Structure 1
Amino acid sequence: MASASESRISICGRFGLKPLTKQNILFYYVPIQGVLSYTALSINVMNPTLVLRIFPKRDITNILLFNTLLGSGLYLYNRPHLSILPTKDRLLYSSFGAVTFSLGSVLIWAIVRSLVPQNVALCSVCGIGSGLAMIKIARSYTEHVDAQVPKKA
């Protein structure tokens, strides 16, 4: 008979997920949740009226931005190129990267929104598409920087 932890691991494994540990929650699941919030933020900036129809009593922009900052900050904090730094510098650099990436994205979406015809579907596609492109570029960049760090023996 399988133990409870073995059955949890096999369930996680079946879905391609990592087991629920403190490390995985902070540096795997929170960044994934950050990507989801970032994608929702792109829709929110590109189509504020659409999001207001879904959440009429609450502006969720700050919630989405906070979750995006948290996810991208933890993703950067755990990267190999920052692992050799003191904790205070890792916090500073990962926070700076998260804020720069997130607010830069919001600025790009605001500019794109002013250029694209006011069509809900088109704005949503432009927001999601540009957001996914920026995530891919950012991930590729951090992997490139990480590759410059000598491997530990």
Structure 2
Amino acid sequence: MSAEDARVSLTGKFGLKPLTKENLLFYYLPVQGTLSYTALSINVMNPSLVLRIFPRRDITNVLLFNTILGSGLYLYNRPHLSALTTKEKLLYSSFGAVTFSLGSVLIWAIVRSIVPQNVALCTACGIGSGVALIKIARTYAEHADSLVKKA
């Protein structure tokens, strides 16, 4: 078995895709964006928890950047944008990523003002709403993709 075959079978065992430029941009970075999005939900809903983990640095902007990058790359590579120019794909995927991310932050800020200040409850509301919003966004993108006529 060659080194390449061993690497492919190892990634396959864990359900991961091989490390290629395409997979890095349109699989791994979106996955990392999803993880950042989840951490961002906790950060907005329960900032004291995140401050305990990272006491010397506010990581909000890092999480927001990674969230926007990951969701933007996810949208950029969707079939419903495939017929567009690169410039249009960048514009639309950036708009979708920023709108989704900042809209989520606004939703979490509103929810945080309504939910009692309980660490576990705020964290659960952040993660739960984040998972729900990701599911809705993914289903919406898949629906838009389904409307594209296959050549």
Q: TM-score range by the shorter chain?
A: over 0.9
Give the CA deviation at 1:105: 0.1
Alignment partner, residue 60 of structure 2: 61
> How far apart, in 1, do the equivalents of 2:98 and 2:36 lie?
14
Alignment partner, residue 80 of structure 1: 79
Give the CA deviation at 1:74: 0.1
> How far apart, in 2, do the equivalents of 1:22 and 1:111 lie?
39
* Pairing of 1:1-150 with structure 2 (within 5 A): 2-150=1-149
Root mean square deviation of aligned Cα? 0.4
Secondary structure at the aligned position of 1:49 is classed as helix
> How far apart, in 2, do the equivalents of 1:73 and 1:89 lie?
13
Give the CA deviation at 1:109: 0.1
> How far apart, in 2, do the equivalents of 1:20 and 1:28 lie?
10
> How far apart, in 1, do the equivalents of 2:144 and 2:80 lie?
7
Runs of 4+ in 1 over 3 A off after TM superposition: none
TM-score (norm 1): 0.98
Give the CA deviation at 1:72: 0.1
> How far apart, in 1, do the equivalents of 2:79 and 2:56 lie?
42
Give the CA deviation at 1:82: 0.4
Partner AA of 1:84 in structure 2: A
Query: CA deviation digits over 1:27-68, x for unaligned, max 9?
Result: 000000000000000000001111011100000000000000
Query: CA deviation digits over 1:51-107, x for unaligned, max 9?
Result: 011100000000000000000000000000001000000000000000000000000
Secondary structure at the aligned position of 1:133 is classed as helix
Give the CA deviation at 1:118: 0.2
Partner AA of 1:135 in structure 2: I
User: Unmatched 5+ residue regions in structure 2?
Assistant: none
User: Unmatched 5+ residue regions in structure 1?
Assistant: none
